[in-house]
Structure 1
Amino acid sequence: MPTQVMSRADVVRVYGTLSGFEPARSDNPVSAGMPAGSVTDDTDQAVIVARLLVEGDGHVDPRRFAEELLSWEKEMKAKGSFDLLGPSTKAALDAVTRGVDVKEAGKYGTTNGAAMRVTPVGIAFDTADAERFLDRVVESCQVTHDTTVGIAGAAAVAAAVSTGIAGGSLDEVFEAAITVSAAGARRGHWTAGADISARIAWARELVADLDTAVALDRIDSLIGTSVASQESVPAAFAVLALTDGDPWRSALLAANLGGDSDTIAAIAGAIAGAVAGLSGLPGDAVRTLQEVNDLELESLTRQLLTYRTR
């Protein structure tokens, strides 16, 4: 949260190495005023997806999703927050408001909004039937990110989370992400962009055997940390490779990147958390998150897990 939209150089100048929760600085244009341990739009929107999956008996209704996202942004504005909808989501929902069909509104969405909030799909469904799994991913993308790039990014994250939930190793997580992302790139409206599946594999190789600081600089300069799916999704997988799947260290290293650091941390942390389980996170950090954000995720997670056994 505190380092989003900061440059990697500014993160190093201000924080040195971020090693725990920090409040946002008053000059951060997005996070200003947020206390240490606050979650951002990534977590809020993932919770919306989770609730809609439960409400829809395993399906995300695109019209309801659009309504919930618009309601969320209205609440954020009422609080004086600058942590609002991303560019693709905003454009799609503006189109829905103008009367554009929800099945057409997301045909230009290429940023990482779908990938950052797709974790509940990975919790709820396994990848045994790849096409059925992708159907669920697409439902969570359609209204805002119904493009080859948007779906490929979301598919990679959802497949990685699902594989971790099923007991898969980090190697198996990478394999699933690469395979399902490639299949996801055949869904949705075609849009030009680098292949996310290939970039995930490349990102892992790029940081192999590097010192952490050097690797973070390499991620920043070569992979990229912007809201583009082709940058932030592979960046999150590079972080996973660096930490060997440790969820707390993954979140911290992502925070030290700057750029769209909250999204990169949300993705890397979700995947690493799926592999390691709750015991992989420090108890005091979990308590801080619950207290600062009034989060009650355990019952929601249990409800999502019931779909895996049906």
Structure 2
Amino acid sequence: MRSKDKVLGALYGQAIGDAMGMPTELWPIQKIRSKFGNNITEFLDGTADNDIAINFKAGEYTDDTNQAFAILDALIETNWNPNTKVLVRHIMKWADEVGAWTNNILGPSSKVALKLVKEGKDPHEVTKTALTNGCGMRISPIGTLFEPNQLDMLVKMVYEVTKITHSSDVAISGASMIAGAVTAAMADQNWDEIISYACKANDEGFKLGAPTWAAHNKNRLMIGINLAKKYKNQDDQFSQAIYETVGTGTMVSESIPSALAIAYYARDVKKCAILCTNLGGDTDTIGAMATAICGAKNGANSIPSNWITLINKRNPQHNIDKFADEILNFKA
């Protein structure tokens, strides 16, 4: 059974991982260590030398969570029946409001696809080759809508909301993997079962996307899971192995397997968010995905209350509690 505590856990997990990972976004590990030292453990302002994070203050989440919640707003407007025009309208409204076109806030695939839509052009030639992780960064709330026995409906919903900017096999499968992990975590499956269900969702999603040459998410995830087992209780060694072996860049086949492996290793919202911001690479996006899974598993009651208070205070544009109520009213 889906519960409000677990829905809130997923939503706040998404927001927390995103906001905590923001200051180090797209920096190599050497630069993070030089700037912030060995271990960031709290929310920080973006700094002037990070041309993406410069736009944000401590506790503010980025395009990952803003797009996730824009998608929720769009689905609520259409009574949970995905409508491409409405989905695009809500994301474009957010993008226009924050100056995403000029402030280096949108990811590369989303920016090109939405720009074509804005110009009245068909973005399919771009979306079918999209290999970057905008597909996964905003998808975790979709996982809160379904039970594990509704895999087909889950993957269909993932496809409908993802194809507006990403319609490649690796993108649809990766987004399905993240949403599937959230669904299984919401159902309180154990961590090995969560990974198994995420892989099933990945396989179903892969069938729906346009063929690409990208590495398969599931295969790379298995590498990450093996690293999590090898370096159990060795945070620094595990993080370094993920960074150097699976990869933490913006490609779907790096960041999504890494996010799932980190969630599997951390198993806790606070630990997961801290690991991700100190990781190097696409820290906010990996944080959003990984920490959402941990939040879905453990619920909002497992999250430090001051973290939730800060997220609410710094992001007044959204009412996360109201989103949770709307999600619980959804019937597949």
Q: Normalised by the size of structure 2, how large is the TM-score?
A: 0.87
After superposition, give the CA deviation of every residue in 1:166-192 in whole Å (9 maximum; x if it has no partner).
222222211111111122111121111
Q: 2:222 aligns with which of 177, 194, 201?
A: 201
Q: 1:137 aligns with which of 151, 155, 158?
A: 158
Q: Which runs of 5+ in 2 are unaligned?
A: 1-21
Q: Indicate conservation of the 8 Å contact 1:240/1:250, yes or no.
A: yes
The aligned length equals: 307
Q: 1:66 aligns with which of 67, 82, 88?
A: 88
How far did 1:92 drift?
A: 1.2
Q: Indicate conservation of the 8 Å contact 1:46/1:120, yes or no.
A: yes
How far did 1:82 drift?
A: 2.8
Q: Indicate conservation of the 8 Å contact 2:130/2:167, yes or no.
A: yes
Partner residue of 1:152? Answer: 173
The amino acid that maps onto 1:119 is S
Once structures 1 and 2 are overlaid, which stretch shifts more, 139-148 or 65-74?
A: 65-74
Q: Which runs of 5+ in 1 are unaligned?
A: none
| Counterpart mapping for 1:36-185 below 5 A | 36-77=58-99, 82-101=103-122, 106-185=127-206
Once structures 1 and 2 are overlaid, which stretch shifts more, 94-103 or 135-144?
A: 94-103
How many Å separate the matches in 2 of 1:158 and 1:200? 15
How far did 1:103 drift?
A: 6.0
The amino acid that maps onto 1:242 is Y
Once structures 1 and 2 are overlaid, which stretch shifts more, 249-258 or 98-107?
A: 98-107
| Counterpart mapping for 1:273-288 below 5 A | 273-288=295-310
Percent identity between the two aligned chains: 29
Once structures 1 and 2 are overlaid, which stretch shifts more, 67-76 or 180-189?
A: 67-76
| Counterpart mapping for 1:186-225 below 5 A | 186-210=207-231, 211-225=234-248
SS of the equivalent of 1:184 reads helix
How many Å separate the matches in 1 of 2:45 and 2:103? 15
SS of the equivalent of 2:24 reads coil
Once structures 1 and 2 are overlaid, which stretch shifts more, 269-278 or 31-40?
A: 31-40
The amino acid that maps onto 1:306 is N
SS of the equivalent of 2:72 reads helix
The amino acid that maps onto 1:162 is T
How many Å separate the matches in 2 of 1:259 and 1:106? 23
1:301 matched to 2:324? The reply is yes
The amino acid that maps onto 1:215 is F
SS of the equivalent of 2:224 reads helix
Q: Indicate conservation of the 8 Å contact 2:148/2:187, yes or no.
A: no
How far did 1:70 drift?
A: 2.1
Q: Indicate conservation of the 8 Å contact 2:44/2:59, yes or no.
A: yes
The amino acid that maps onto 1:64 is V
**Which of 1 and 2 has higher RCO (CA within 8 Å, sep 6+)?**
2
CA RMSD of aligned residues (A): 1.8
Q: Normalised by the size of structure 1, how large is the TM-score?
A: 0.93
How far did 1:278 drift?
A: 0.1
Partner residue of 1:254? Answer: 276
Runs of 4+ residues deviating >4 angstroms: 102-105
How many Å separate the matches in 2 of 1:233 and 1:61? 26
